[in-house]
């Protein structure tokens, strides 16, 4: 994950919550320090732990952050994943924002890991989609990687995907691929979505980089994969979730994209608990 981009986003996230100031911080002096442990309240795969260091250093350079686990680690209920030491006002100001983000990312990583395990394939990759939370795409896609999955395109800018509406507007798969190829450089990847075997054969003749089988049953995918030259990657998408993944294990498809990794995930339950450093006794 790009630290500069992450810090820019974290700055906005923190400002959203803190605004001009944390009014509850009037309870504390600058000398009031403490230690906080971030603990798992349910087991799962953690992701985004660097955000604790980056986020707290944006708030207060004196805060010390120790990562007790690494992204991608499977962590059990009750285990501590981060230790944070510094002024109490700073620790509490960043608590909710960073917990929200890490809970979300860890939820994505956990679901991704479950999908990879359920598929149990040495050939087929689990990938995400663009069905991400606005403003969180970079974080959620990183979490997919932490969970053992891979990323599809990051946005509309880094690859072409010709879906049903594109094809209808262009007139045909053949015409759509030709127009794109004539307009863009050779480094831009082209993917075509197909829903029928007739479309599949037309797509094969058009020679895109990837052909996506949209909303097809495992037995159909298994048959269609045999028709596609090895020079063209294959992808299955649409309605595939954790419960159905094992049915697609032996289809031979190269990639399975799952929107649920980011659009239907539950946050992992994680909490932060503060302990107060005793003040030094005043000797008169």
Q: Which residues pair with 38 in a beta bridge?
A: 82, 272
Largest distance between two CA atoms of the chain: 92
Sheet of strand 270-276: strand arrangement: 64-67, 80-87, 33-40, 270-276
Cβ neighbors of 173 (< 8 A, separation 6 or more) are 162, 167, 192, 194, 199, 202, 203, 206
Phi, psi of 220 (to 5 degrees): -70, -45
Residues 138 and 3: their CA atoms lie apart, in Å, by 11
> What residues are annotated to the active site?
96, 131, 163, 193, 214
Residues 235 and 149: their CA atoms lie apart, in Å, by 14
Residues 142 and 136: their CA atoms lie apart, in Å, by 10
Cβ neighbors of 49 (< 8 A, separation 6 or more) are 67, 69, 70, 71, 81, 82, 102
């Amino acid at each position: 994950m790009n630290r500069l981009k992450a810090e820019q986003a974290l700055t906005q996230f923190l400002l959203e919550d803190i605004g001009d100031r944390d009014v509850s911080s009037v309870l504390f002096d600058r000398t009031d320090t403490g230690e906080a442990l971030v603990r798992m309240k349910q087991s799962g795969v953690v992701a985004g732990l660097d955000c604790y260091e980056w986020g707290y250093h944006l708030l207060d350079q004196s805060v010390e952050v120790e990562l007790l686990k690494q992204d991608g680690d499977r962590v059990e209920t009750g285990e501590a994943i981060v230790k944070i030491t510094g002024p109490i006002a700073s620790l509490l100001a960043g608590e909710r924002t960073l917990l929200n983000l890490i809970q979300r990312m860890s939820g994505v990583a956990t679901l991704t890991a479950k999908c990879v395990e359920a598929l149990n394939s040495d050939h087929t990759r689990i990938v995400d989609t663009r069905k991400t939370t606005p403003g969180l795409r970079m974080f959620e896609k990183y979490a997919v990687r932490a969970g053992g999955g891979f990323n599809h395109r990051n946005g509309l800018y880094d690859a072409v995907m010709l879906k049903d509406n594109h094809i209808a507007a262009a007139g045909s798969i053949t015409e759509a691929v030709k127009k794109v190829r004539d307009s863009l450089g050779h480094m831009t990847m082209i993917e075509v979505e197909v829903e029928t075997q007739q479309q599949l054969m037309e797509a094969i003749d058009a020679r895109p980089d990837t052909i996506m089988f949209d909303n097809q049953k495992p037995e159909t995918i298994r048959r269609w994969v045999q028709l596609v030259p090895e020079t063209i990657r294959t992808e299955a998408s649409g309605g595939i979730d954790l419960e159905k993944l094992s049915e697609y294990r032996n289809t031979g498809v190269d990639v399975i994209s799952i929107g649920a990794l980011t659009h239907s995930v539950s946050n992992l339950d994680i909490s932060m608990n503060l302990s107060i450093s005793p003040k030094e006794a005043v000797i008169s």
